[in-house]
């Protein structure tokens, strides 16, 4: 194994259920011809590779591409990101979701400036110690940017390797996860580990799809135990998704006599951390001591674990003062005109509510 630490690649050949060198060569050959042209591919800058990997977490490449280009134009270096205002960082991320990724990117950039001279560390263990960088992202950066022979195991890789093994158990935990790690580590333990890791990811994204794998186009087909069984789409078994929790809330569209709107900023930690929005409260809570009017029908908005139903209400106060009481999770309140709100980092839900407000003129 090359320097860089990380998951052990010291796997005995006898322990492997497939021919790792042959499969590695097939993956590299396929990737050289069939990989998608994406702006972070062949990047020489480890910082760019890091940014792309964080953006690609739970987000499709086609969605990420314009965000990546704008981000690199706004924050071209680790130092530039570290020195930027959080509002600017969140605004650049606006629409990508999972905003903790953006906040952690900036936190990690500041750590790199303070502890690593502004240079992204090469070692897997040093990378994994940075905010927001877990085992997958550390493995991806270490292998792609620095040639470390470590695996990078995301959901696509788990599915591809799980099918190679015809895994009948959950490949995200326990014995199933360990079996995937053994194979992925062995495949990364050779030349161009970054290309091999990216080939596995690319294969899962474009060929070895969850429900309709295109086996005739797959370079790993000769080694695929699931294909030999006869129905690779059945492997590995899928975990049932938890049903999102239903939550109801009221969104307060409060204006003062000058037409300014009351907006609040969420605490940096937690859901939509650091973003601005019309204050949300439970349906039975009161924010301002004036009569309210309905602002149209309720809106639905889905998060990964929450199915949110929001009822907008309108109110006008005689004096621009803050709310009647402390409202969590908000830490800052402002009265702003519509144009000023457009310059703030806001969520997709807030954009929906602004559209509702604009409809009233």
Strands 245-255, 306-316: pairing is parallel
Catalytic site includes residue 202 = no
Scored b (16 or more CB within 10 A) or e, 267-302 reads: ebeebbbbbbbbbbbeeeeebbeeebeebeeebebe
From 53, 181, 202, 277, the catalytic residue: 53
Can you tell me the distance from the alpha carbon of 278 to that of 290, in angstroms, rounded to the nearest whole number?
17
Nearest CA among 157, 186, 181, 175 for reference residue 13: 186
- Residue 330 · residue 272 · CB < 8 Å: no
Nearest CA among 164, 140, 165, 167 for reference residue 151: 140
Give the DSSP letter of residue 13.
G
- Residue 324 · residue 333 · CB < 8 Å: no
Rounded to whole angstroms, what are the CA distances from 5 to 56, 109, 188? 24, 21, 13
Burial (0-12, 13-18, 19+ Cβ within 10 Å), 59: middle
Distance, CA of 86 to chain centre: 18
Nearest CA among 236, 211, 216 for reference residue 226: 236
Judged by DSSP in three states, 252 sits in strand
Residue 90, both tokens: 């969140």
Strands 280-281, 245-255: pairing is antiparallel
User: Which residues are part of the catalytic machinery?
Assistant: 53
């Amino acid at each position: 194994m090359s320097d860089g630490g990380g998951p052990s690649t010291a796997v005995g050949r006898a322990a492997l259920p497939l021919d790792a060198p042959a499969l590695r060569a097939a993956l590299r050959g396929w990737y050289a011809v069939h990989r998608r042209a994406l702006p972070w591919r062949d990047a020489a800058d480890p910082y760019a590779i890091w940014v792309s990997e964080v953006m690609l977490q739970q987000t499709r490449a086609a969605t990420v591409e314009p965000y990546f280009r704008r981000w690199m134009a706004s924050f071209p270096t680790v130092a530039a990101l570290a020195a930027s205002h959080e509002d600017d960082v969140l605004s650049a991320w606006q629409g990508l979701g999972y905003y903790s990724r953006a906040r952690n990117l900036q936190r990690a950039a500041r750590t790199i400036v303070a502890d690593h001279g502004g240079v992204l560390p090469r070692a897997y263990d040093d990378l994994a110690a940075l905010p927001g960088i877990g085992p997958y992202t550390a493995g991806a950066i270490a292998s792609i940017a620095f040639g470390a022979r470590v695996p990078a195991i995301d959901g696509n890789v788990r599915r591809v390797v799980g099918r190679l093994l015809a895994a009948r158990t959950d490949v995200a935990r326990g014995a199933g996860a360990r079996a995937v790690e053994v194979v992925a580590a062995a495949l990364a333990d050779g030349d161009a580990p970054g290309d091999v890791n990216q080939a596995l990811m690319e294969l899962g994204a474009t060929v070895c799809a969850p429900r309709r794998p295109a086996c005739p186009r797959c370079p790993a087909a000769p080694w695929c135990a699931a294909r030999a069984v006869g129905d690779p789409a059945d492997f590995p078994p899928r975990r049932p998704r938890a049903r999102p929790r239903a939550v109801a809330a009221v969104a307060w569209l409060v204006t003062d006599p000058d037409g300014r709107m009351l907006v609040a900023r969420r605490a940096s930690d937690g859901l939509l951390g650091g973003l601005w929005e019309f204050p949300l409260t439970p349906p039975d809570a009161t924010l301002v001591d004036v009569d309210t009017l309905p602002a149209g029908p309720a809106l639905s908005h889905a998060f990964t674990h929450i199915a949110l139903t929001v009822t907008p209400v309108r109110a006008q106060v005689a004096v621009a003062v803050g709310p009647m009481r402390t409202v969590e999770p908000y830490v800052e309140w402002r009265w702003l005109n519509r144009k000023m709100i457009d310059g703030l980092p806001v969520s997709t839900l807030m954009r929906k509510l602004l559209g509702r407000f604009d409809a009233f003129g």
